[in-house]
Structure 1
Amino acid sequence: MIDTLFEALALPASARMERRVPKALLADHGATGAGDRKLVEGGIERLRWRASLKPATIGVPALADDARDYSEIAVLTLEARDGANTARLAKIAHAAIPYPLILIVGDESQAALSLAPKRRHERQADRFIAERLVTAPPVTALLDAAAEAFLASLTVAHLPAADLWSLYEGVIDRAEAYAAARVTGAFRLPTNADEAAGRRVALAAHDGQARDVARLRKAAAAEKRLAARIELSHAITRAEAELRRITDLLA
């Protein structure tokens, strides 16, 4: 599925490359301790640099200012071994690669798109730090309508092209639209920046509320006292109503 996601970008030949990336790059520049280094060594089957998106390869202007430098976007694929912590591997990769990174991480059965918008360090202008990590839900071989719409939306030629930063934001919008689609069943791109920001807040709220509902249900299943079970039942009803309200915001 890694190649399915990569090919969905429909990159021109001028942007493509095929370069093996040594694990030592991640271990030396992205790992924060022995546990990370062990994960990199044992959890990665293959790491490849597959494309470079820059003005000369895709015809989209660079953007460089006091806050950001989007002169080039790297596209990498990370094939993980069974049982590896792919979320942590993605975070290590974003920390290790100095460029803004479109990372596709997964294996033969599923793969996910991982992004991390970067900005300049406040005191070290040549150092960049990730503002946040954005990971789309995994795409599997059983493609439904939402997954097919997500893949179709990734074609680079159809992404925002004012500059490479707007292009990267466009990929983030699509990753978050797919995350919302996994809740609502319908893939829909935001129409403007305010709508995208609102969806981002609603996605975070939905994740937190879903965890709260699951916690309450687990507590109710384990509770033996009748009065406490009744109280938990009321709490579950309120929490589920709030979850439905948040879900409506994602539609």
Structure 2
Amino acid sequence: MTPEQILSGMRLPPSAMVNQRVPKKMLVESGAPTAADKRLISDGIEDIHWLAALKPVTVGIPAYQDAVRDYLEIAVLDINLRPLGKASRIAELVHRAIPYPTFLTIRCEDELCISLAHKRWAQNEADKTVLDGDFLEVSLDSSSQPDLLRQFTSALSLDQQPHLSLHALYQGWMDTVIALKAALITGVFTASLTPEQAAARHQALLHVKKLQAEIARIKALAAKEKQMSRQVELNMALKRLEKEKTEQLGLLGMENT
């Protein structure tokens, strides 16, 4: 999977395309709060490209404004990392630095990461935006299931996303990424039918991740435990966790893996 394939799947109109290189210096100056972050940007990034700018005049979708946010534009960016570049931290710095909601692809060797994050106005600083919640990300490598990735890129098409506002469009892309994250677990890609279903899927994904970590922890304890009564107790706990995991997987689109 490549950024070019993602961009092609989005099917953006020519009027939205920018294709402009962004100097790293701009990101260092606006998005690096610490000296370590400045070094990470300077040493970890090979190049940054601003691929597209989605505005009412370029895509025919209205801007969005309410008491906490103002979505006048969606930026589409691609970053090429050098080996050992920290993709998640760099993605967070980019989302914090750019005042617009950003559809970001980050590539490093054979791996491609996609991340998105809502923005809102800062409460105590005029004209400054901050992240509205955690950013959403998914990591894809060259061995990922090709059928799922083809379905995902097709679902990214602008024609298949909400057109009510730029906020609705951005949330639609976030919901599509959530559907992909679910598909990478279940093996089946199905787009969420409603925002409520997408939100439930996202919560289920977070819950499954926590359950998997707890299941691994309990299994490790059980493997070392010598007392029979304690082994029985741990096995019962595992069964409860596995049952809960099965229920959560059902919310992702299938009953089991």
Task: Write out aligned runs for 1:63-74 (5 A).
Answer: 63-74=64-75
CA spacing shift, 1:212–1:218, aligned 2, 3 Å: same
2:34 is aligned to 33
Q: Percent identity?
A: 34
Q: Which amino acid aligns with 2:16?
A: A
1:204 is aligned to 206
Q: Is the 8 A contact 1:2 1:110 kept in 2?
A: no
Once the two structures are overlaid, the 10-residue window that deviates more, 4-13 or 173-182, is: 4-13
Report Cα offsets for 1:7-37 as digits up to 9, x if no partner. 2212221111122222223222222322222
Task: Write out aligned runs for 1:74-223 (5 A).
Answer: 74-131=75-132, 132-138=134-140, 140=142, 142-223=144-225
State yes or no: 1:8 paired with 2:9. Answer: yes
Structure 1 residues without counterparts, runs of 5 or longer: none
Q: Is the 8 A contact 1:110 1:141 kept in 2?
A: no
CA spacing shift, 1:7–1:41, aligned 2, 3 Å: same
How many angstroms apart in 2 are the aligned matches of 1:151 and 1:77?
Answer: 16
- Match of 1:221, SS state, is helix
Once the two structures are overlaid, the 10-residue window that deviates more, 212-221 or 45-54, is: 212-221
CA spacing shift, 1:42–1:221, aligned 2, 3 Å: farther
CA spacing shift, 1:215–1:38, aligned 2, 3 Å: farther
CA spacing shift, 1:219–1:73, aligned 2, 3 Å: same
How many angstroms apart in 2 are the aligned matches of 1:14 and 1:241?
Answer: 50
- Match of 1:102, SS state, is strand
CA spacing shift, 1:235–1:117, aligned 2, 3 Å: same
Quote the offset at 1:232 in angstroms: 2.6
Q: Is the 8 A contact 2:51 2:78 kept in 1?
A: yes
Quote the offset at 1:104 in angstroms: 0.7
Structure 2 residues without counterparts, runs of 5 or longer: none
How many angstroms apart in 1 are the aligned matches of 2:226 and 2:25?
Answer: 53
TM-score, structure 1 length as denominator? 0.92
TM-score, structure 2 length as denominator? 0.90
1:47 is aligned to 48
Q: Is the 8 A contact 2:73 2:166 kept in 1?
A: yes
Q: Is the 8 A contact 2:99 2:119 kept in 1?
A: no
Q: CA RMSD in A?
A: 1.8
- Match of 2:84, SS state, is coil
CA spacing shift, 1:166–1:183, aligned 2, 3 Å: same
How many angstroms apart in 2 are the aligned matches of 1:204 and 1:136?
Answer: 13
